[in-house]
Each structure stands twice: as structure tokens, then as C-alpha cells.
Amino acid sequence: DAKTTQPNSMESNEEEPVHLPCNHSTISGTDYIHWYRQLPSQGPEYVIHGLTSNVNNRMASLAIAEDRKSSTLILHRATLRDAAVYYCIRASSTGNQFYFGTGTSLTVIP
């Protein structure tokens, strides 16, 4: 989705928090924001999603800007297993469509 942009790559040290940003400035007021991650040669894996409020689960936290034009995925303590491509997704509220952003390749340094 050309309207959902992310940095191409980011690095983090192991055991440190990671903040992965996403810009979705043209998102509809009722579209959900999803995050998935993908390891090489595997299908994407669900991480978290939200609409307006910040969300937490066992994997990560999602911080959504008040104007909903951007969001940030937070991994509280990066591990080597968190190295993957992370996708921010605009999930259409008018149907069942999911539109992937450009993706961020996360490298975790031991």
C-alpha cells in the first residue's frame, strides 16, 4: 500500500527496546492498524492490532497517535528471534481487505 510507509531497516541491540514507526497519514477513521512480522521463507505472523487506543499483548505494544496518522510498534526487549521484516497494515473497515505497508527489516545485534 503506497499510503503506508515504514523505514526500510532498523537495528537494535539484544535486550533493548525497539520502536518501529509507521506512517499512515491517509488512513480512514475506521480502518484498523495491524502489525505482522515475517521470517525468511515463512508466511507473515500476527503481532498486534488496534483502532484508536494503545494496545498491549504478550508480544508487543502498539502506540497509536491521537490523529491516527502514525503508529509505533514497541518490542520491549528485543531478542535474536525478533529479527524479521515487520509490516504495518491498513485494514479496510469497508470490507475484509488488508493492505501491507513497505515493511521494516529489523536486525538484532547480540
Partner 1 sequence: DAMVIQNPRYQVTQFGKPVTLSCSQTLNHNVMYWYQQKSSQAPKLLFHYYDKDFNNEADTPDNFQSRRPNTSFCFLDIRSPGLGDAAMYLCATSRPGGTFYEQYFGPGTRLTVT
Would you tell me which residues interact with partner 1 (CB under 8 A)? 1, 31-32, 34, 36, 41-46, 49, 87, 91-93, 95-103
User: Cβ closer to partner 1: 13 or 28?
Assistant: 28
| Other beta carbons within 10 Å of 95 | 7
User: Cβ closer to partner 1: 72 or 102?
Assistant: 102
| Of 22, 35, 27, residue with least CA distance to 72 | 22
User: Cβ closer to partner 1: 12 or 104?
Assistant: 104
Q: CA-CA distance, 89 to 20, in Å (whole number)?
A: 13
The amino acid occupying position 91 is A
CB 109 to partner 1: min, Å: 22
CA distances from 99 to 3, 33, 36, 42 (A): 9, 10, 12, 18
CB 50 to partner 1: min, Å: 11
Reduced to 3 states (helix: H, G, I; strand: E, B; else coil), residue 8 is: coil
CB 5 to partner 1: min, Å: 11
Q: CA-CA distance, 32 to 52, in Å (whole number)?
A: 8
User: Cβ closer to partner 1: 49 or 63?
Assistant: 49
CB 52 to partner 1: min, Å: 13
